[in-house]
Structure 1
Amino acid sequence: MTELTHLRSPAGIAPGNGYSHVVWGTGRFVAVSGQCAFDEAGAIVGEGDPAAQARQVFENLRRCLAAAGASFDDVVKLTYFVTDVAHLPAIREARDAVIDTARPPASSAVQVAALFRPELLVEIEAFAISPLF
């Protein structure tokens, strides 16, 4: 695991709910493209179900991070693209199952008109700093 510093509330900034305002560390930068709720065969998981889609997205992120020698402990930033901000509680629940909530990454959430397939409700990208080999 990389030694990361999480600053949840810098001076003069209100604390975030479930995220750090600033995260930094030393290591190898890893960027994971936005992941959607596709299984290994490319089929959509959880059509119409934001919780099921979020769980699949985080599983896909886990696999991508692992391919780069990283884990959720190394994630410094998550960006959420959602078709409806009402899905955020389900997404946060899936996130909290894999992220150390005492040391959450920085994050942004953006409501979008649509993703590239109408059945998709959420897409999440990740930036990580993994240990140097």
Structure 2
Amino acid sequence: MSKKTRVISPNVAEAAPGLWSNCLKVDDTLYLSGLTSRANDGETILGSDEYEQAKVIFGKIKNLVEAGGGKMDDVVTMTIFVTNIKGNQGVWKARKEFFTGDFPACALIEVKGLAKPEILLEIQAQARIGCSA
């Protein structure tokens, strides 16, 4: 029987108890919640455009994947929610700074809004530890 384990990184603030987990590990798969560029203080939003916010978020994904025993090349799928589809070039630019080789399968979805008006994007991901070359 598989066991679900919470993965925590000291570099990524966790939500208040009872809300959600940033990352759960089941066997060799990591499930990452939608992450934003919210700072560890829980209030400040880091980055003023899609590129800057994406860099913060990909950094959080990297921290959580590494805390779960993997590396960025183990990320197999992402869902990216943006409030302005025209900002996607900034997201792709940041993504190239964190991934090499075969990029994760990805969906890009424009939404009306996220938790705060200054949050421009949110990224959810899954990783399979040890699947990269």
TM-score bucket of the superposed structures, by smaller chain: 0.7 to 0.9
Q: Partner of 2:45 in structure 1?
A: 44
Task: Percent identity, please.
Answer: 31
1:3-58 deviations in Å (ceiling 9; x for gaps): xxxxxxxxxxxxxxxxxxxxxxxx711111111012232321013x1111111111
1:46-90 deviations in Å (ceiling 9; x for gaps): 13x111111111111111112211221100001100001111100
1:64 and 2:64 equivalent?
Answer: yes
TM-score by length of 1: 0.73
1:70 aligns to what SS in structure 2? Answer: coil
The residue identity in structure 2 corresponding to 1:78 is M
TM-score by length of 2: 0.73
- Unaligned segments of structure 1, at least 5 residues: 1-26
1:80 and 2:55 equivalent?
Answer: no
Q: Partner of 2:23 in structure 1?
A: none
Q: How many residues align?
A: 104
Q: Partner of 2:120 in structure 1?
A: 121
- Unaligned segments of structure 2, at least 5 residues: 1-26
Q: Which stretches of structure 1, 4 residues or longer, exceed 4 Å deviation after superposition?
A: none
Offset at residue 92 of structure 1 (A): 0.3
CA RMSD of aligned residues (A): 1.6
